[in-house]
Amino acid sequence: MAEKEKPDCSLMWMWGKSLWKWASASPRRVLFLVRVGWRFGLAYRRRVRHARRISGPIPMVLAISPTMHCNYRCAGCYSRAR
């Protein structure tokens, strides 16, 4: 039986290390990272719950929109709902 290949975590480790170095400069940055991590955890649990309900996968999506304005006219767009 073949062993499972372990993913190369060196890039993730370096990224996490540099992110922590950036965040440790200010308590506000640490709080920001904690809040983002908490939200990702909540979103993950919600995706799992809904995926079980519909019996299918739900992709992870991150939308960052500081202005909430968009010049596209997509159907069902969150910025057009206002």
**Residue 1 has what pLDDT?**
46
- The model's pLDDT over 19-71, given as tens digits with 9 standing for 90+, comes to 888 888 888 988 988 898 899 899 889 888 888 888 877 776 666 666 766 67
Closest CA to 46 of 61, 33, 64: 61
Exposure letters 7-46 (e unless 16+ CB within 10 A, then b): eeeeeeeeeeeeeeeebeeeeeeeeeeeeeeeeeeeeeee
